[in-house]
Amino acid sequence: MSELSKAYEPQAVEDKWYGFWEQQGCFTADPQATKAAFSIVIPPPNVTGMLHMGHVLNTTIQDILARKARMDGKEVLWLPGTDHAGIATQAVVEKALRKQGLMKHRDDLGREKFLEHVWAWKEKHGGIIIQQLKKLGCSCDWSRERFTMDPEYSRCVQMVFVELYRKGLIYRGKRMVNWDPAARTALSDEEVEMVEEKGHLWHLKYPLLDQNGQPKAGEFVVVATTRPETMLGDEAVAVNPNDPRYTRLVGRRCLLPLQNKVIPVIADEFVDPKFGTGCVKVTPSHDPNDYEMAVRHNLPFPVVIGPDGSMTKEAGEDFDGMDRMEARQAVIEELTEQRLLLKTEDYVHNVGYSQRSHVPVEPYLSEQWFLKYPSAALSASAVEEGKIAFHPERWTKTYSHWMGNLRDWCISRQLWWGHRVPVWYSKKTSGSEAAKVWCDVNPPPDPENWQQDPDVLDTWFSSWLWPFATMGWPGRTDTLKKFYPTSDLVTGPDIIFFWVARMIMAGYEFMGDLPFRNVYFTGIIRDKLGRKMSKSLGNSPDPLELIAKYGADALRFGTMRSAPLGQDVLFDEKDVELGRNFCNKLWNACRFRQLQGGEVQGEIAPALLSGYDKWILLKLDQAIHDITAAFAEYKFNEATQTLYRFFWSEYCDWYVEASKAVLTRPVEALHRESIETDRGAASTHEIAARRANTLAVLDFVLSHTLRLFHPFLPFITEELWQGMGYSRDMPENQGGKTIMFAPWPKPLEEDFRGHYGLDACDGRKVDAKFELVTQGRNLRREANLPASKKVKFVLKPAGAIPAHDVEVLRLLLNAEAVDVDPDFQPGKGTPGVHSEIGDLYLPLEGLVDVAAEKARLTKELEKIEAEIAKVQQKLNNPNFTGKAPAHVLQEHQQRLAEWQAKRARVIEALDRLK
RNA sequence: GCGCGCUUAGCUCAGUGGAAGAGCACUUCCUUCACACGGAAGGGGCCGCAGGUUCAAGUCCUGCAGCGCGCACCA
C-alpha cells in the first residue's frame, strides 16, 4: 500500500469501507448457511428520530456483538428497522402542521388528510436515523429493514389482536384510565411518570344539612384535597365506618358548595382516618379510588373535566371552558369568598405526568380496549429460571416484581397514527349483541353496514411482536427457522416493562418459544455532571458532529471504554478524544512497521526469538485470554481497557522500543554486537534473518491486535488490515478479504507455546530489565539532567549479559552509551540503582552530591522496609502459614526474598557512601 | 412504604478473598528518524462510617449515613 500518512484521518476511510462492506454483501444474513446462527433484532428507533448518545451506546454494543460473532464463524443476522412511534410522531407532525398554520387541531383536517401528512413526514424524515447508524458503522442487514407499519407487519398486529380477542383476552370496557389531555388519548400505566411536586392540601368546608334539607348553622364536614377543582364533580363525602368521630354523620347529607347540590355522607373502608381530616370528597369521574367507591355506592358519574383538560358544562356556568388549572384557582377564590376554605397546607405529593406530552395526566372515564397478558406465568418463570439471562442479573428482580403484579393493559389510543383496531360495529339496531361486533383482519363483507372502531393501538402493541414479525411470521420462513429465537437483545432498562417483558410474553404466546436468550441492559448516558441528556438542557452532543470531528471509531471506543455493564455512563467529549488518540496510536504503530520495509512476514522462526519477542507473545496471549473472557461476560469496558493497556503500554511503550535495537540500526552494528555474544559471530545472512523474524513478530502481534480491535474499531482496523497486507493469506469469501470475517484470535495453544519456546522464556527476566530501565531513567531525572543531554551509564552486571541486551538498555535509556564494567568501583556518591540484572550507575563528572544520593537511597530503603514489614507480618502469623494455601504461601515467601535482596543491594550502596 | 444501584487518587470511574488501578487533570523534562492525537519521570488514596466472618476484606455478611433510580391508589 501507499505510505501511511502521519496522522490517521478517519473521514477519508470510513465511508469507503462502509460502502465496500455493503457492496460485498458482508452484512447480509443467509438462512441457508450451515454455520451456527447468531441474531439480534435492533430496538427500532422512532422512524422520525435522530441519532443521540443513547443510540450510540446501544447500537455500538450490538455491532460489537454482531462483528465478534462473525469472526467467531457464525452466520449473523442483525435485523434493523424503525418504529412508527404513535404518540411521539403524531405529536411532532401536529406541532409542525400547527406551525405551518395548516390546522389548529387535527379535527380541522380530518383523519384521512391528517394521515397523509404524517406519511409525507415519514417519507421525508424517516430513514435519517438509518443513515446515521451507517455512519456509526452498524453492520445491520439492510436488505431486511422493517418498519412497524409495513403492510405485512400491520397484518401481524391485526392477526394478533383478532386471536387474542377470540381467546377472550382482549376486551372492551368503560374504565378509569390515564388520560393525556394534550394528546387527547388514553395511556397505559407505564406511560405515566410520577413527579414529586410541592402543592397544597386545601381543607374545604361542606355545610351539613338537617333532616329538612336546610344548612345547619356552624355544622360542616371538612374534606382535604389536592385538587379542589374536582369538587365540582363531587357526589359524596366518605368517612371510615369505624371512625368514631364521624359515624354519626353517615347517612346525613351535605351541600356541595358552588354547585348547590345535595350529596350524601357515606361510609367506606377505603378511607384512612389518619390522613387529612378523615373525610374524603368523592369525585366519581375524576379519581380512580373515588370511581371504585362510587361504583360500590351506586353514585352518579358527572364529568366536569373534558378530554382536553378543560371544564365542562357540568362544572357549572362559572367554570365551563376553563382550563383545569385555572379552574383550581377560581374554585379556591370562590370558596374563600364564601368562607368555605378552612385552611391551606403546604403539601408534597406525587403527580402523574404523561411521559410523552409532559402534562399532568387526568384520570378519565372512557371506553377502551384492554388486554389480559397471555403466557404470563411461562414468561415469568423463563427469566427466573435463567432460560432468558439478564445482564446485569439484578434486573430479573424488577422484571419479576412487575410480572407478579400484572394489570390489564390499556391498548387503545385515541390517535390516528398507528394500527387501527380491527373491529367494526354494526350500524343495524337489531340482532344479538355478539352479531353487532365484527373482529377480523378483514373488514366485514358489507362494509357499508359497519363502522370501524376509531381507535388505534398502543405502539408497544406492535413492538412486542418485533422479534418474529420482522422475520416473516406467521409463515414458517427459513429466516425464522434459522434465526429465531434471537441470541441477544440490547436495550435500556427503562423499557423493561414496555417492551422486554411484553416481547417475552408474545414470543411464548405466538411462537411457542422465548424471543431471545440474553438481554443486555445498558445504562443511561448522562452528561459529565450526571444529568440526563435532554434537548432543553442542551447537554446532548450530536453524535454526528462527534463523528465528523473525531471519527466513528473514536466515538465507539470512547463510549465503550467508559460504559461498564449496566451502569450509567457519564459522557464526556474527552472520552471521544481519548478514542481518537488511540486510533492515531494504532495507526502509527502500523506505520512504524511499514517504515521498516519488507513484505508481510509469514511464519515466526522459534530459534530466532529473543526474550523480548517471547515476552510480547506471552502478553498477547494473556490479552487474548482476558478479552475473550470479558466478551463472554459482556464486559466491553474491560475488554477495551485490556486492549488499550496491552497495545499502548506493553506493545508500543516497551516491545516496539526494544525492537528498535534490532530494526533501526545498521547491519554492521548488529554484526559487531553478535561477535561479542556467546553465539559467536553471526553472518550477515543470519542478521537479516533475525531482523526478518522481528518483523514477523510485529506482524503477528499487529495482525492479532487488529482483529481483537475490529468489533470496537471497524473502520481503522479494516483500513490497516487491507493496507498492511494482512488479508493476504485469507480465503476469498462473501466479503472478499475483509477483516470482518477474519477468525477471532484464539489463545495460543499449549503446543504453540511449546513450539515457540514460550514457556521456557522467563518473562520475569524481561520485566526486570524493563524495571531497571525505569529506575535508570529516574536516576537521570533525579539528577536533574535534561532529557536532551546525552549521558553515559555504567552497568556492573550481576552475571553474563549479552551485548544485545546492553544495546536495548542503551536505547531505552536514551543514553549515549552503557559501558559494561564488572569491576566498576563507583565513586563516592555516584547515583546508582541495584537490581538482579546488575547495578546501573550514572557517573556524573564533578557533580557528585553525596548527601543527595544518600537521601535518595534512604528514601528507597524506607519503601523497601515497609514492604518487607508487610510481608513478614503475614509470614510470622502461624495462622497464615498454617491455613493459607501453598501457592499463596510460596508467593509471599518469594516476594519477601525479592524485597530482601533489594534491601541488601541498597544497604550496600549506602555503606559505600560512608 | 418496598425494591435496586452508587459511595476507591482533584474529576470520572474500573477492580467480588491473597502485594491499591486506569483515563483526564497536576508537577518537571523532551519537537530523539511511528506517533506532541506523542515520549519520559513523578506527586497524589484511614477504598463512606461502625461492627462481624476469615489466616487474610476495597472485595463476603449485618447495621448506619449520604446520593441517585424504580415501584406503590393515600384524598
What is the SS3 string spanning A404-432? CCCCCEECEECCCCCCECCEEEECCCCCC
User: Could you tell me which residues come within 8 angstroms of residue A631 by beta carbon, excluding any fewer than 6 positions away?
Assistant: A68, A639
What integer pLDDT is reported at residue A232 of this predicted model?
92
Work out if A285's Cβ lies within 7 angstroms of strand B.
Answer: no
What integer pLDDT is reported at residue A483 of this predicted model?
96
Return the number of other C-beta atoms located less than 10 Å from residue A396's C-beta: 18
Q: What dihedral do alpha carbons A464, A469, A470, A476 form, nearest 10°?
A: 140
Residue whose cell numbers read 422512524 = A47
Residues of chain A where predicted confidence (pLDDT) is lower than 70:
1-2, 528-530, 534-537, 672-683, 729, 731-736, 750-751, 760-762, 845-848
Protein chain A, residues 584-643, with a C-beta closer than 7 Å to any atom of nucleic acid strand B: 584-585, 588-589, 591-592, 595, 635, 637-638, 641
* A595-618 residues labelled b (16+ CB within 10 A) or e (exposed): eeeeebbeebeeebbbbbbbbbbb
Query: Nucleotide B31: nearest residue by CA–C1'?
Result: A788
What is the maximum span of chain A, computed from C-alpha positions, in angstroms?
A: 127
C-alpha separations of A466 from A56, A80, A405, A413, A487 in Å? 21, 10, 24, 20, 14
Work out if A525's Cβ lies within 7 angstroms of strand B.
Answer: no
What integer pLDDT is reported at residue A83 of this predicted model?
94
Note the pTM of the prediction, 2 decimals. 0.91
Q: Residue A350 CA to nucleotide B1 C1', Å?
A: 14
Q: Residue A401 CA to nucleotide B63 C1', Å?
A: 26
What integer pLDDT is reported at residue A522 of this predicted model?
87
Q: Residue A836 CA to nucleotide B41 C1', Å?
A: 22
Protein chain A, residues 735-774, with a C-beta closer than 7 Å to any atom of nucleic acid strand B: 773-774
Work out if A873's Cβ lies within 7 angstroms of strand B.
Answer: no
Work out if A394's Cβ lies within 7 angstroms of strand B.
Answer: yes
Protein chain A, residues 526-565, with a C-beta closer than 7 Å to any atom of nucleic acid strand B: 528, 530, 562, 564
Q: Residue A890 CA to nucleotide B33 C1', Å?
A: 47
Work out if A715's Cβ lies within 7 angstroms of strand B.
Answer: no
From CA A266, how far away is CA A278, in angstroms rounded? 12
What integer pLDDT is reported at residue A525 of this predicted model?
80
Protein chain A, residues 217-246, with a C-beta closer than 7 Å to any atom of nucleic acid strand B: 223-227
Work out if A119's Cβ lies within 7 angstroms of strand B.
Answer: no
What integer pLDDT is reported at residue A681 of this predicted model?
55
From CA A75, how far away is CA A53, in angstroms rounded? 29
Protein chain A, residues 287-346, with a C-beta closer than 7 Å to any atom of nucleic acid strand B: 287-289
At A681-692, the pLDDT tens digits run 566 777 788 888
The torsion region of residue A81 among left (phi > 0), alpha (psi -120 to 50) and beta comes to left
What integer pLDDT is reported at residue A731 of this predicted model?
66
ipTM of the complex: 0.93
Q: What dihedral do alpha carbons A441, A445, A449, A453 form, nearest 10°?
A: 0
What integer pLDDT is reported at residue A490 of this predicted model?
93
At A715-732, the pLDDT tens digits run 999 999 998 988 876 766
* Own/partner pairs, A140-144, CB within 8 angstroms, 24+ separation: A140/A27, A140/A42, A140/A78, A140/A79, A140/A80, A141/A27, A141/A28, A141/A29, A141/A77, A141/A78, A141/A79, A141/A80, A142/A22, A142/A27, A142/A80, A143/A28, A144/A29, A144/A77, A144/A79, A144/A80, A144/A470, A144/A479
List chain B nucleotides near protein: any atom < 7 Å from a Cβ.
3-6, 11-15, 18-19, 22-24, 28-42, 54-56, 70-75
